[in-house]
Amino acid sequence: MRLGAFELDEPVPELIEPHALVMLDPWIDVGSVGTLTLNWVEKELDAEDLGRIARPGNYFDFTRYRPTVYYEEGRRQVAVPNTYITYGHTSAGTDLLLVHMLEPHIHSDSYIESMVRLLGRFGVRRYVLLGSMYDYVPHTAPLMVTGSASGGEAARELERLGIGGSKYEGPTTITTLISQRAPELNMETMTLIVHLPQYTQLDEDYTGAVRLMDIVSDLYGLSPDSEYYDKARQQLVEIEQALAKNPQLKGIVKELESQYQSGPTAGKPEERPPKMSPEVERFLSEMEKRFRDDQSR
């Protein structure tokens, strides 16, 4: 079945006021935290395929999102990057749409319209964006999560979880227009962004994934994956081992700890990065430039 740009598998399931859990690559998925979180939910719910963009080349530049080659039963296959959706049912009775969303490069208006039509077709009650960003935070402190919500119930959930609002202003993703159209769909929105240490930059950051996993578990009554906790602990051990061999980085982490713990909004999001020593500022700027260069390739 075609629905805008999407091809839906048949028979199309009937879902009751589902919530959509969404990750967005690459804009707000550093350390693959959103991806890891959705992968865990899919495993927990034994999620089923729902659909995907029928012609991904209409929206994505495959010199930037590279196809990958793999072997299946001895045969060479090619996986083409795409936006795809799965679904599942929680034991608490909430249906979930799980959206692995890629940032479009072209024809963004058509892409946004198709996403809005999809959400409307299934009567999505709440749109939840899960993601991660780099920040001036140490790995030794509990990872900070910021967010926002529209709709009374979503706002109350965010307050109950103790998640502070974000004051960010600046460049954003075109897919923000999806949540801006929530009122016409009678849909709540919620954003949950975990802040990761800028100096780690792991391909898969399980500490960040655990932080979001715990929140999603609380919201939807799911069981956390013990393997994620084990991998998070191992990554922290490896970071400490790396610090022991790098006195400069160890000093930078100490300064970040001091700023994080003794600042005027200790443990809470700040409107701008704290003032640090020139050495720390230079190091973090170099890390940020390296990350942006990698993202632009």
Contact 145, 196 (CB under 8 A): no
What's the pLDDT at 272?
44
| Domain of residue 69, CATH code | 3.40.50.10900
Look up residue 3 and give its two tokens: 């629905």
pLDDT digits (tens, 9 = 90+) for 32-82: 999 999 999 999 999 999 999 999 999 999 999 999 999 999 999 999 999
Q: Is 294 left (phi over 0), alpha (psi -120 to 50) or beta?
A: alpha
What's the pLDDT at 255?
85
Look up residue 257 and give its two tokens: 């700890």
Q: For the chain, what is the mean pLDDT?
A: 89
Per-residue HEC secondary structure of the chain comes to CEECCEEECCCCCCCCCCEEEEEEECCCEHHHHHHHHHHHHHHHHCCEEEEEECCHHHCCCCCCCCCEEEEECCEEEEECCCCEEEEEECCCCCEEEEEEEECCCCCHHHHHHHHHHHHHHCCCCEEEEEEEEEECCCCCCCCCEEEEEECHHHHHHHHHCCCEECCCCCCCCCCHHHHHCHHHHCCEEEEEEEEEECCCCCCCCHHHHHHHHHHHHHHHCCCCCHHHHHHHHHHHHHHHHHHHCCHHHHHHHHHHHHHHHHCCCCCCCCCCCCCCCHHHHHHHHHHHHHHHHHHHC
Q: Could you give the number of structural domains in the chain?
A: 1
Residue 256's pLDDT band (cuts 50, 70, 90):
confident
Say if residue 231's pLDDT is above 90: yes
Say if residue 291's pLDDT is above 60: no
pTM of this prediction? 0.88
| Nearest partner of 295 among 90, 84, 31, judged by Cα | 31
What's the pLDDT at 278?
63
Contact 216, 224 (CB under 8 A): no
- For residue 251, the enclosing domain spans 2-296
273 versus 285: the higher-pLDDT residue is 285
Q: Spell out the residues 6+ positions from residue 184 whose beta carbon is closer than 8 angstroms to its own.
A: none
